[in-house]
Amino acid sequence: MAGVRYSRFRSRWGYRRQIHVPVRIIKGKLLLSPPALAVLFVLLIIAKRTGRAKIGKASLAERTGYSVDTVKTALRELRTARFISSTQTLRKYKEFSTNAYTVAVAQYFTMPRCIVQRDTQDEMWSLSKFTSPEIATYTSACWLADWNHNNTFIPDDLQQITGLVTKAAYDKAMDGLESRGLIMIGVGDVTLCDPYTGLEILPIDDEMENLQNQHTTINGVIHPTVFNFEKTPEFMEKLGTVLGIEFTKSGKNYKTLCLYHTDTRPSLCVDPRGLGQFYCYGCKQAGTLSDIVMKVRGFKNRKDALVFMVEVNGAESHYVDPDHNYTIYSYRDKMGFLKKQEMRHKFKDKSFTQRIPVGAGWEYKQGPPMLYNLDKLQIADTIFMVEGPKDCETIGRHIHDPFIVATTTGGAGTWVDNLADDLIGKRVVLMPDSDTAGEAYADQIADSLTKRGIRFTRISFADEHVKDASTYLVNHSIDDLLCKVGWFIQSEPEPVIQA
């Protein structure tokens, strides 16, 4: 099974939120006991923003599945190993209570945050449901995957890292993690799975990736849809009814007549754990419950089958665009190929980030400096130089003339001198924002244009008491804007003289 590299999606866990775990918990093997690991994970998600976590020992016991006495021992272990420091707070009757902890994280590896969250505590893959060997093994597997930069890795040293002495204990822990849908054990390799789906995390252009964008609304709050849920007897009965299949309990498993060959005695056995793996002892067919749903209901892809199973289980699932809170501005080269995108948050002023296309997905980092609408500049003779892509789009909606194009480098402080080379032979109208940063931005561009002998003029929105072109066009027409530029855009641009 091919692994998936970091750069193919938002992170190694796709769109799932993560916790950052100190790499120094492993030095050849795990240095912390499973209870100490569990307590550390809970403290890490609480302390993510401030580095400080305030939580009582009873709550830690509830979140980890260990007793209060075990939690106390785990906290002492973490303090001794200097993973945390604690602060005593004075309660009434002058008693001191230690329930505030400072967590130290330097270099880290990642684990899915959902295994520790309070709202997923009832799921079979919640940390509170793990056995101690499973905690040690899963932590070690996440560390090893991070070290290999790949969700699929060869587990040669995994047992040694876990500190589990016997192979029987290690194999039982691995089987337990697989039944919870957290790992897939292949021939000679292991793959980490998305806890919500129980499936390998795929590139974002794959239709199965959309499962990470499926959400369920519970009491007015939107949560990621849980596809990897426990197949209870009630669920199996409901599923059998809607599919017209009779699932009969047989020990921990279920039996039914095989759908893949003529069967007179039930020979298809379903394991209700995880994805519901099945195996037919007659025709040797193997798969999961979603394969049975696809066959009976005629679904063309697995996503539809999994959504159907969620609905049978009494929930609903709908798609939510992961970029729905952002306005996306795409920067393309002269040939029209996408080079980067700028994402501006719709509800947080001045909150934006950039991403560049990598393979089938995105890498979230600053892209190369370039002009917006560069692919449209080639035939244009008049360029409106504004401060942000929002202004470019606003002007573009008002002007339907291919010879007038608005461009920008993204904002104040982003201008690079050599970008002016793409403006040679054009008329340039500088339209800075009406503030100090905007004027400085226009000054930089003016210097670059002057050096190259490029004709330009400069207009201001200060007289109208508005900030920028977008604000100006709220109460003014595009003709008003063109009148501000006046004669300049009617004159002929300078010819380009080839050396």
Which pLDDT tens digit goes with each residue over 315-327?
999 888 777 788 9
Q: In the chain, pLDDT over 70 holds for what percent of residues?
A: 89
H/E segment holding residue 243: helix 233-243
- Tell me, yes or no, whether 102 lies in a domain: yes
Residues 7-14 have a mean pLDDT of 60
Question: Looking at the structure, do residues 266 and 352 belong to the same domain, yes or no?
Answer: no
Q: Are residues 314 and 421 in the same domain?
A: no
Distances (CA, A) of 175 to 158, 168, 273: 14, 10, 11
123-176 pLDDT, tens per residue? 999 999 999 999 999 999 999 999 988 899 999 899 999 999 999 999 999 999
Q: How many DSSP H helices and E strands does the chain contain?
A: 13, 25
Q: Look at residue 491 in the predicted model and tell me its pLDDT.
A: 59
Task: Looking at the structure, tell me whether residues 312 and 405 fall in a common domain.
Answer: no
Domain annotation covers residue 496: no
| Same-domain status, 344 and 470 | no
Do 188 and 253 share a domain, yes or no?
Answer: no
pLDDT tens-digit readout, 388-437: 999 999 999 998 888 999 999 998 889 999 999 999 999 999 999 999 99
The yes-or-no verdict on residue 50 having pLDDT over 70 is no
Which CATH number fits the domain that encloses residue 447?
3.40.1360.10
What is the number of alpha carbons within 13 Å of residue 128 lying toward its C-beta? 18
Laid out side by side, the sheet with 253-256 consists of: 248-250, 253-256, 268-270, 277-280, 286-288
Q: Say how far apart CA 18 and CA 195 lie, in whole Å.
A: 12
pLDDT digits (tens, 9 = 90+) for 361-391: 677 888 999 999 999 998 999 999 999 999 9
Asked whether residue 53 falls in the same domain as residue 141, the answer is yes
Q: What is the arithmetic mean of pLDDT over 349-362?
A: 75
Q: Which residue has the higher pLDDT, 359 or 467?
A: 467
**Strands of 221-224's sheet, edge to edge?**
221-224, 214-218, 318-319
**Is 220 inside any structural domain?**
no
- Whether residue 205 is contained in a domain is answered as no
Domain final residue pick, 302, 334, 363: 363
- Residue finishing a domain among 180, 200, 220: 200
Judged against a pLDDT cut of 90, whether residue 483 lies above it is answered with no
144 in the same domain as 21:
yes
Question: Does residue 497 belong to any structural domain of this protein?
Answer: no
- pLDDT of amino acid 99: 75
With respect to residue 210, please indicate whether it lies within any of the assigned structural domains. no
Over residues 469-491, mean pLDDT = 84
Check whether residue 139 and residue 25 sit in a common domain.
yes
**Predicted confidence (pLDDT) at residue 54 exceeds the cutoff of 90:** no
Q: Domain check: are 281 and 338 in the same one?
A: no
Mean pLDDT, the chain, integer:
87
494: pLDDT strictly greater than 70: no
Q: How far apart are CA 200 and CA 178, in angstroms?
A: 12
- Say if residue 350 is in the same domain as residue 392: no
Whether the pLDDT of residue 484 is over 60: the answer is yes
- Rg of the chain over Cα atoms, rounded to whole angstroms, equals 30
The per-residue pLDDT for range 245-263, each reduced to its tens digit, is 999 999 999 999 999 999 9
Structure-token pair, residue 26 = 């492993």
Assigned domain for 498 exists: no
Pair 333, 303 in one domain: no
Domain range spanning residue 279? Answer: 233-319
pLDDT above 50 for 94: no
Considering its fold, how many domains does the chain have in total? 4
pLDDT(9) > 50: no
Q: Is residue 421 part of a domain?
A: yes
Q: Dump pLDDT digits (tens) for 208-244.
A: 557 888 889 888 888 999 999 989 999 999 999 999 9
Is pTM beyond 0.85? Reply is no
What is the amino acid identity at position 319? Y
CATH number for the domain spanning 269: value is: 3.90.580.10
| Residue ending a domain, choose from 306, 335, 363 | 363
70: which residues sit within 8 A by CB, 6+ positions away? 35, 61
Q: Do both 348 and 307 map to the same domain?
A: no
- Pair type for strands 382-385 and 96-103: unpaired
Residue 313's CB is within 10 A of a number of other CB atoms, namely 17
What mean pLDDT do residues 270-287 have? 91
pLDDT at residue 153, rounded to an integer: 92
Q: Alpha helix locations (H) across 277-357?
A: 289-297, 302-312
